[in-house]
Structure 1
Amino acid sequence: MAGRTKLYRLLRDNENPMEEGIKAKLPHEDKTPLQHIRHGSRQDSQWISTSRHLSDIDELIRFKRKHEGWSRQCRVVEIDEQKLKLYAEMSKDIMRQLVNIMKKKAVKKPRKMMKLLTQFLEQTTGKVLDFTDQTVLDRYIPSDSFGLNEKARGYARKYSEVLVERFIPADCCIRICKR
């Protein structure tokens, strides 16, 4: 597909994106994008970090090898951004339909319905936030007079951050490369 845009993600050891997709560490969490970017992988959230550029992932790997003692070979997944955005829209539509059904009909087994909704939610993609877009950066990580958000803004810029909420399906993952 010509003109396809790609995203990249440095994989954790336990991630198998080609088979299972990529699930956020805490898909039901309610952290802001600012909190996620400010604290990175030190705090679990519903966000999945990706980058617009493979070269920025390589920079992150170099940083982790130098400052965190990483010596192992790293795996990076290439993600089809268009497919991911289509999946996110489809997920939003399905969720809207489910909520409407619940509102219209008296659910006889609310616990069972909530369990199904929870399972479904874990396999849906929420927002896709591209922090290389200045308007997205300013909205979710605003500049402040005290400079408290500048570190997070710097990380978002340095690594061309694109956050994905909750889940990236396996069929959006193109290939894995070793670095």
Structure 2
Amino acid sequence: MVAALELYLDTDATRRVRTLWRALEEEGIPTLGSLHHKHRPHVSLAAARTIDPDAAAKALDGVPDGRGLSLRMDFAGQFVGRVLWLGVTMTPELMDHHRLVHERLSAGGVEVWEHYRPGLWVPHCTISMRVPNPVMAPAIRRCLEILPLAATVTGAAITDHANDIAHPL
């Protein structure tokens, strides 16, 4: 089970990522588009095994939800465990927003995984959580076909898709 604070992308960027998901699915590569059928393209600012959405919302009270932040995805990457993603180029605005969110979550007693904390976080838009090793290289090439991808953040939510939680911020 994974819970996250997700930043959502504008309509055009969402459409382009969903098109990528469909192309990969047609090639037999599972994507977030087919995982629980609830995911939407996003960039996670924080993640943990569980996040109490009410506690997180209270901790983030008064913090902007990220709407209007400009994101640019310029590269594709892979995490250990067959996770494929589009890499978000860090900007001072994104770094400041991420740091503020984590300061407030920490002050509110909301625990998150260490690798999502400032200084360790790799901003990304997950494409697949389980790319079969023999097709990772072709999947990365497919991702590169849609790059660069500019996006604007249109909203945020605390989510836990396995438990049907989507708490808008």
Normalised TM-score (structure 2):
0.27
Normalized per residue, the structure richer in helix is 1
Normalised TM-score (structure 1):
0.26
Normalized per residue, the structure richer in strand is 2
